[in-house]
Chain A
Amino acid sequence: MTTAERAAALALAAREFAPWLGEITAERLLELVHLELGSAGVLDGFVPRGAHRSRAFPRSPLVHIMSGNTPHAALQSILRGLLLGGRQRVKLPAAGLPELAAFVGAMPTILRESVEIRPDLPDAWMAEAGAVVVFGGDETIASIHRMLRPDQVFVPHGHRVSLGVIFAEVAASLEAAAREASLFDQHGCLSPHGFYVAGDARAYAAGLAAAMAAFQVHTPRRALVAGEAAGIRRVRDDVAFRAALGEDIALWVSDGGSSTVWTVIFDGVDSAFTASCLDRVVYVKPLPASLATALASVSAHLGAVGYWPPTPQAAERLVREGLRASRLCPLGTMQNPPLTWHQDGQPVLAPLVRWIDVE
């Protein structure tokens, strides 16, 4: 298959997976190849490049080692691998990933047969890999890295945390903020753990609580196992106790406390980033004088920062803050990155090919 044929087939298969992949078209896929590799046809034959001609070849087999958060990363990773061609080998997370098999199943036979999916990671996969893409925590990434030879390309995607910043027009942002904090129950690496808000952040938290409740009505949170719900109870109990002691902290909870489906915490005590225990537990903090200082502890793990109002000026203000986030985007679009985004600040196709130059 040519790159264009693969792009067309992938776009067709991706239609049912828009919640995770966004709107995929063949043109956009070819645009991605062009942007990353310099030419949409460079995988199909030699093309002029400076004073010579070059052709890119997929590093094959490409091994994808998936984590268990959401299907986003897995679907995007396999989409990119298949767009380049070559064999794909996918190691599933322990909890499985049915969306991935469904996505592959929606493809034409020739693409489908180029994909192997397993729950384990055979030694042979690592030995034969041209490149390995791994999603997971620092420990997982380090252990996989140790298994590779120097000639094998290693593309790690560690855990990321994301957040939102509301500079102005706060009331207008509530619906978007609630949506961001509720989508995928915060399990995506682009899901916000909390929001920094200019002005009356406590009032904003109250408004966000109402918006979270409204979102819950039409899009209920998934059911939790006891350990997960217990984690939310623990956070709530601690905040409630601190609030009772008179600390500048407050709590809004779903259904008067008889459920855990959403939780909003206003924290005026500590401006440093607080990681949520997820599943729609979100922190609201006053916008500090220096965001970079407040986010110092997670600087190396920042994913997306959503801004409001959705204006270039707001984006510029974030840029001036000097954050190490790889993606700045309007609130409301955090979890729908464009196909061409630099995931974790890196090219997504370029590391997965090797080149032959003819002079």
Chain B
Amino acid sequence: MSEEREIARRHLEARVTAAIEASLREPLERAAWNEIALAIHAFQLAHNAPYAAFARALGGGPPTDWRSIPAVPQSAFKRADLRTFSAAETQLTFYTSGTTGEGFGRHHFRSPDLYESSLRAAWRFAGLPVGRPHWILIPPASEALHSSLSHMMGALAPLASEQNWLAHRRDDALALDVTGLRDAAALAREPVILLGTALAFLALFEQLGERTMTLPAGSLAFETGGYKGSGREIAKDELYALFTRHFGLAPESVWNEYGMTELSTQAYANGLGGPHRPPPWLRALVIDPESGAEVAGGEVGLVRLFDLANVGSALAVQTQDLAVRRDGGTFELIGRDPRALPRGCSRAADELLQIRP
């Protein structure tokens, strides 16, 4: 049984990997997408017991369309181990950041391969540049073993000319290497990409005070994570204005990554007001929280994501994020459900963050 399951898993992951690679060259046909999604769903019904129990409890027949695949709530990753392999086979587990009272969510992986392929492909699909230095305001995975964001930064190494880790975990706190950043900026001659959580950037700006840095022309910033109940939230346009003030980066040079521990794929938005555009192997529905039906274009609802790269866990995840449905499968985030518990990668970093003047 285990061997059959492993063969099936590898087969599915190979299909998804091929679809990801192909979709970078040409559009992924709707029928092909649907077929892969339904195959993954069937695999997860067969080998992911908590998910199967949930889907059975919801009732309804076998889905014929990806839209009908039951989506687990994000909290399901806290309530159960959603995996299509055994605990002994688990190679990698990411934890969600601390929440109030409900414990940590866990996203298990049989292997990091598909996850890493997906995140690098999503980077390329978004049109983010390849071969530039990455200056990273997130601790490396060696200091944050179960952080999906730290792992992600490391997995982006093949797309970077070099990686400069400018945040470290010290005594259970996160310290930003502002001096290292200033030294790097003084020496930089080619465009760089500055990567960090929104909270880390906010802390950096606070530490910089009135000081500014000039980055080489063509440099970008990559921010992720939101604020999620940290109590330190500022509006996106204000944050982006700080990028301009301190680094001389126009809003169009700042990218936002929308991802979560529970997923294997990320969606990106560029500048202010631009919607998040998922890559072809990640699809989003915006669901009316009142009726449970998909909203019309321009209306607000909850984001429900279908990630083909989540072969090992749960394909469909109902998030707590509110967004406006936009054209072409894109969506514009308007923030987390205000009643949702504070959580998120950014918060994890912030919980560690020590402001050191």
- Where the two chains meet, the residues of A that have a C-beta atom closer than 8 Å to any C-beta of B are 224, 226-234, 237-238, 240-246, 257-260, 277
Bound-state Cα–Cα, A243 to B80, Å: 12
The secondary-structure label for the interface of chain A is helix
Bound-state Cα–Cα, A242 to B293, Å: 23
Q: Closest residue to A277 on the B side, CB-wise?
A: B339
A241:B289 contact, CB within 8 angstroms: no
- Where the two chains meet, the residues of B that have a C-beta atom closer than 8 Å to any C-beta of A are 50, 53-54, 56-58, 72-73, 75-76, 79-80, 288-293, 300-302, 318, 320, 322, 337-340
Q: Closest residue to B302 on the A side, CB-wise?
A: A230
The 3 closest A-B pairs by CB, nearest first: A231-B339, A237-B73, A229-B289
Q: Which B residues are CB-close (under 8 A) to A245?
A: 50, 53-54, 79-80
Bound-state Cα–Cα, A230 to B302, Å: 7
**Which residue of B53, B288, B290, B339 is within 8 Å of A244 (Cβ)?**
B53
Q: What's the least CB distance linking A216 to chain B, in Å?
A: 14
Q: Closest residue to A258 on the B side, CB-wise?
A: B291
The secondary-structure label for the interface of chain B is mixed
With A240-B54, A245-B53 known as contacts, the answer to whether A227 contacts B338 (CB < 8 A) is yes
Q: Closest residue to B56 on the A side, CB-wise?
A: A244
Q: Closest residue to A227 on the B side, CB-wise?
A: B338
Bound-state Cα–Cα, A241 to B53, Å: 8
Q: Which A residues are CB-close (under 8 A) to B53?
A: 244-246
A259:B339 contact, CB within 8 angstroms: no
A240:B337 contact, CB within 8 angstroms: no
B76:A229 contact, CB within 8 angstroms: no
A226:B73 contact, CB within 8 angstroms: no
**Which residue of B57, B73, B289, B337 is within 8 Å of A243 (Cβ)?**
B57
Q: Which B residues are CB-close (under 8 A) to A228?
A: 339
B292:A258 contact, CB within 8 angstroms: yes
A238:B73 contact, CB within 8 angstroms: yes
Bound-state Cα–Cα, A246 to B300, Å: 33
A234:B54 contact, CB within 8 angstroms: no
Bound-state Cα–Cα, A165 to B337, Å: 32
Q: What's the least CB distance linking A229 to chain B, in Å?
A: 4
A230:B337 contact, CB within 8 angstroms: yes
Q: What's the least CB distance linking A69 to chain B, in Å?
A: 15
Bound-state Cα–Cα, A238 to B76, Å: 7
Q: What's the least CB distance linking B320 to chain A, in Å?
A: 6
Bound-state Cα–Cα, A62 to B56, Å: 60
A230:B289 contact, CB within 8 angstroms: yes
Bound-state Cα–Cα, A240 to B340, Å: 17
A257:B338 contact, CB within 8 angstroms: no
Query: What's the count of A-B pairs with C-beta under 8 Å?
Result: 79
Beyond known contacts A241-B54, A245-B53: 12 more, CB 8 A cutoff:
A224-B290, A226-B300, A226-B301, A226-B322, A227-B322, A230-B340, A231-B337, A234-B73, A237-B73, A241-B75, A244-B58, A258-B291
Q: Closest residue to A236 on the B side, CB-wise?
A: B73
B58:A240 contact, CB within 8 angstroms: yes
Q: Closest residue to A246 on the B side, CB-wise?
A: B53
Bound-state Cα–Cα, A230 to B73, Å: 12
Q: What's the least CB distance linking B103 to chain A, in Å?
A: 12
Bound-state Cα–Cα, A233 to B292, Å: 9
Bound-state Cα–Cα, A240 to B58, Å: 8
Q: What's the least CB distance linking A38 to chain B, in Å?
A: 46
B50:A234 contact, CB within 8 angstroms: no
Q: Which A residues are CB-close (under 8 A) to B79?
A: 238, 241-242, 245
Bound-state Cα–Cα, A228 to B338, Å: 8
Q: Closest residue to B52 on the A side, CB-wise?
A: A244
**Which residue of A230, A234, A243, A246 is within 8 Å of B75 (Cβ)?**
A234
B80:A234 contact, CB within 8 angstroms: no
Q: Which B residues are CB-close (under 8 A) to A233?
A: 289, 292, 302, 318
Bound-state Cα–Cα, A260 to B322, Å: 17
Q: What's the least CB distance linking B169 to chain A, in Å?
A: 31
**Which residue of A230, A238, A242, A259 is within 8 Å of B322 (Cβ)?**
A230
Bound-state Cα–Cα, A260 to B76, Å: 21
Q: Closest residue to A260 on the B side, CB-wise?
A: B290
Bound-state Cα–Cα, A227 to B301, Å: 8
Bound-state Cα–Cα, A238 to B293, Å: 18
Q: Which A residues are CB-close (under 8 A) to B339?
A: 227-228, 230-231, 234, 277
For this complex, 24 residue pairs linking A to B, each with C-beta atoms less than 8 Å apart, are A226-B300, A226-B302, A226-B322, A227-B337, A227-B339, A228-B339, A229-B288, A230-B289, A230-B302, A230-B340, A231-B338, A234-B73, A234-B320, A234-B340, A238-B73, A240-B54, A241-B75, A243-B57, A244-B50, A244-B54, A245-B50, A246-B53, A259-B291, A260-B290
**Which residue of B57, B58, B72, B337 is within 8 Å of A234 (Cβ)?**
B337
Q: Which A residues are CB-close (under 8 A) to B293?
A: 258
Bound-state Cα–Cα, A258 to B288, Å: 10
A257:B292 contact, CB within 8 angstroms: yes
Bound-state Cα–Cα, A258 to B322, Å: 18
B57:A260 contact, CB within 8 angstroms: no
Bound-state Cα–Cα, A280 to B293, Å: 21
Q: What's the least CB distance linking B262 to chain A, in Å?
A: 13
Q: What's the least CB distance linking B96 to chain A, in Å?
A: 14
Bound-state Cα–Cα, A232 to B338, Å: 11
**Which residue of A229, A237, A238, A240 is within 8 Å of B290 (Cβ)?**
A229
Q: Which B residues are CB-close (under 8 A) to A240?
A: 54, 57-58, 73
Q: Closest residue to A228 on the B side, CB-wise?
A: B339
Q: Which B residues are CB-close (under 8 A) to A258?
A: 291-293
Q: Which A residues are CB-close (under 8 A) to B75?
A: 234, 237-238, 241
Q: Which A residues are CB-close (under 8 A) to B289?
A: 226, 229-230, 232-233, 260
Q: Which B residues are CB-close (under 8 A) to A231?
A: 337-340
Q: Closest residue to B78 on the A side, CB-wise?
A: A238
A227, A228, A240 pick with most chain B CB within 10 angstroms: A227
Bound-state Cα–Cα, A257 to B290, Å: 9
Q: What's the least CB distance linking A187 to chain B, in Å?
A: 14
Bound-state Cα–Cα, A177 to B60, Å: 33
Q: What's the least CB distance linking A182 to chain B, in Å?
A: 17
Q: Which A residues are CB-close (under 8 A) to B337?
A: 227, 230-231, 234
Bound-state Cα–Cα, A324 to B11, Å: 61
Bound-state Cα–Cα, A241 to B314, Å: 13
Bound-state Cα–Cα, A242 to B290, Å: 21
Q: Closest residue to A243 on the B side, CB-wise?
A: B57
**Which residue of B72, B302, B322, B340 is within 8 Å of A241 (Cβ)?**
B72
Q: What's the least CB distance linking B148 to chain A, in Å?
A: 21
Bound-state Cα–Cα, A346 to B327, Å: 57
Q: Which B residues are CB-close (under 8 A) to A241?
A: 54, 72-73, 75-76, 79-80
